[in-house]
Structure 1
Amino acid sequence: MILLLAGTMEARNLAGMLAQSGIDCIASLAGVTESPAPYPVETRVGGFGGAEGFEAFLDAQEITAVIDATHPFATEITRRTAKICAARGLPYLRFERREWRSRQGDAWHEAADIADLARIIPPRQRIFLATGRQTVDQMGHLEHAYIWARVVDAPSEPFPLENGAWVVGRPPFSQAAEEALFAELRPDWLVVKNAGGASGRAKLDAARALGMSVAMIARPPAPEGITRREDVLDALEWAEAHA
């Protein structure tokens, strides 16, 4: 049985291929998003209860290999999983989509991390955040005029910053929809993490079309010594070898 740590479009695509190939697989979702789209394999939702709970799950389900297809910025999950699998001698694959690359006409400015945004974005700017709900309260160091933060599910809590608001929307978004949203809100900057993936590219294409500046937060490095794949067919081939 293969454990697929999921939550991304790439994970869902791989799950479909695993099902079509007849490979026993169970997908695990963290439970951050309400009513996620269904997976074509057995699926569990929620955390494991720390490292001990994760190891107990591996034993109970007789997991023979782990594919970590979580978000490229889910560093804590990746580090913990890679460490546990290495200690147990359990085959582990990090399946991670390719990074975005700038193209002609893009006005990208790379930030090392969230703290580095203050170096890049001038004071009194209108900012559109597409970095996830968990990062919003880390933006207090920015001398912004206003911040919009996009989330999948409407939060029950008020916006954590003085000048700002939530924007609720469920991906995927088209370039036309993104352009219409940016034209309505008129942000000066788009802030994104370099998560990669075709489904998230529309906001970057919209920013280029409208001449918006983009603050691109660099992807954190992966743990050393792990096996990585960026193509879904390569990940499927690895799964077939370890099923």
Structure 2
Amino acid sequence: MKILILGGTREARELADIASGERGLDIVSSLAGRVREPVLPVGAVRVGGFGGVDGLRKWLSDNAIEAVVDATHPFAGGITANAAAAAASLGVPVLHVRRPAWIEQSGDRWIRVPDLTAAAETVAGLGERVFLTIGRQGVAAFAELRDQWFLIRAIDPPEGALPPCHELLLARGPFTIADETELLTGRRIDVLVTKDSGGAQTEAKLAAARALGLPVVVVDRPPVPQGAAIAETVAAAFDWLRQRTG
């Protein structure tokens, strides 16, 4: 059974590692190619976009794909929607792997917003020194804010417009609470902005902000397609694949 894993996440790599050793499963992983030096999964890998729904549908058909696992980032809404539409048009089953969202804890000062535009509007009234941990895409939403200074952390440099007052910090997690606390205090951060990506790899910043009493602007995830099959863990996703093989 030939399986396409739409990847780029730790969960996608772990699933490819496990499933590649399973008899009866032929795995190919796909990466968007937006990170310059991605951590590659085990097995066959393709890199680059598909060309929208039509391009993905053709690729699935040409490569005789029998099931799709969307294990992309929780904020990769475009490819998630395209995968659901393309797979449905071919009658190919699709599973969306989504790690659990972060849960607000006692002492947190979270302000939830629906998107990055709302996040930019919100931080304007929360402080002068802002820590952006939203990845390299979407930073342009803050480019018009001239009264704030931004610490922008990403794996690769952002594209597009940047806020006039900023420092760019290129780094890849995981990060420790001690490191995040030192960063927040050393840069005299007033407010943290993050996407609700979930997972433990970048969760330490939330604990550090909680301990320091800092407000956190949390951008909500885009929804998965209505009625979609969802797995929260790699183990559940692997079980789903094994069920497809009978």
Q: Which residue is 2:82 aligned to?
A: 80
Task: Work out whether residues 110 and 216 of structure 1, in 8 Å CA contact, stay in contact via their aligned partners in 2.
Answer: yes
| Conserved? CA contact 1:123–1:143, under 8 Å | no
Q: Which residue of 2 aligns with 1:70?
A: 72
Residues 127 and 190, structure 1, Cα contact 8 Å, conserved in 2: yes
For residue 239 of structure 1, give the secondary structure of its aligned residue in structure 2.
helix
Aligned-partner SS, 1:205:
helix
In structure 2, distance between residues paired with 1:73 and 1:183: 28
The equivalent of 2:3 in structure 1 is: 2
Percent of matched pairs sharing the same residue:
38
Q: Is the 8 A contact 2:52 2:82 kept in 1?
A: no
CA contact (8 A) 1:111 1:120 kept: no
Query: In structure 2, how many angstroms separate the alpha carbons of the residues matched to 1:124 and 1:207?
Result: 14
- The answer to whether structure 1 residue 126 and structure 2 residue 148 are counterparts is no
**TM-score of the aligned structures, taking structure 1 as reference length:** 0.92
Question: 1:121: how far off?
Answer: 4.6
Residues 144 and 224 (structure 1), Cα distance of their counterparts in 2 relative to 1, 3 Å cut:
farther
Aligned match of 2:96:
94
Match of 2:172 in 1: 170
Distance apart, 1:70 and its partner CA: 0.5
State the shift of 1:123 in Å. 5.9
Shift of 1:143: 5.8
Q: Partners of 1:158 and 1:30 in 2: how far apart?
A: 19
User: Could you say if the C-alpha distance between residues 233 and 123 of structure 1 is closer, same or farther in structure 2, counting changes exceeding 3 Å?
Assistant: closer
SS of the counterpart of 2:36?
A: coil
Q: In the TM superposition, what are the counterparts of 1:1-243 in structure 2 within 5 Å?
A: 1-22=2-23, 23-117=25-119, 118-119=121-122, 121-122=124-125, 124-140=127-143, 142=145, 144-154=147-157, 160-243=162-245
Task: In structure 2, list runs of 5 or more residues that go unmatched.
Answer: none
Displacement of 1:116 in angstroms is 1.9
Select between 162-171 and 140-149 the one with higher mean Cα deviation.
Answer: 140-149
CA distance in structure 2 between the partners assigned to 1:158 and 1:242 by the alignment: 43
**Are the aligned partners of 2:53 and 2:85 in contact in 1 as well (CA < 8 Å)?**
no
Report SS of the residue matched to 1:7: coil
- Of 119-128 and 163-172, deviating more is 119-128
Q: TM-score, normalised by structure 2?
A: 0.91
Contact 2:139–2:162 (CA under 8 A) maintained in structure 1:
yes
Q: Are the counterparts in 2 of residues 175 and 202 from structure 1 also a CA contact under 8 Å?
A: yes
Q: Distance in 1 between matches of 2:162 and 2:148?
A: 15
Structure 1: runs of 5+ lacking an equivalent: none
1:49 CA displacement? 2.5
Shift of 1:186: 1.3
Corresponding letter in the other structure for 1:190:
L
Query: Counterparts of 2:80 and 2:157 in 1: how far apart (Å)?
Result: 27
